[in-house]
Amino acid sequence: MTKQHRTRTFVGALLISAFFCTANLNLSQSAAATSRLVAASVLGTWKGESICVGNRPACKNEIAVYRFEAVPGKAGVVLQFADKIIEGERVPMGKLEFQYNEAKGELSCEFTRNQTHGLWEFKLSGDSMEGGLVLLPGREPGRIVKVKRVRESEVPKAPSKDLYE
């Protein structure tokens, strides 16, 4: 093999290696970007109104703030920290684990707390989320919720996570 032939073979091998490295890097970046987009679709802070429905005298209309976080090791599950704003402060209402159907952009959580058995359901549409609470077993509407994505800096300071039940 001549020196010129070895050089051409070496340069060709370098070009092929560079191509595959760049392709793998692009695939990795694309997967990471997709992961961030998926997470960004529900994770974060949301603020809006939570309006009482039906005849429930103890129920009060609220300005709600929801924080959704990923649950490590649980695919399709997000943790919601729910607050209401009272006199300019965020007051914890509780935390719940929601099932997140990414393909449909839907969140749901069936829960029982004290005497209340209910189902929270939300539908995402970009930076808006709508849904509410259905009381079980009769499927009576309990709340209608409309929230929009906000920056954490646009709402009062979040309470410590150890204050949520």
The pLDDT tens digits along the chain (165 residues) read: 555 544 454 444 433 344 334 344 443 444 333 334 334 589 999 999 999 998 888 999 999 999 999 999 998 999 999 999 999 999 999 999 999 998 999 999 999 999 899 999 999 999 999 999 999 999 999 999 999 999 999 999 999 999 998
The CATH-assigned architecture of domain 43-163 is Beta Barrel (2.40)
Domain ranges of the chain: 1-38, 43-163
CB 127 within 8 A of CB 148: yes
In 3D space, the residue among 165, 137, 148 whose CA is nearest the CA of residue 49 turns out to be: 148
Sign of CA dihedral 89, 93, 96, 101: negative
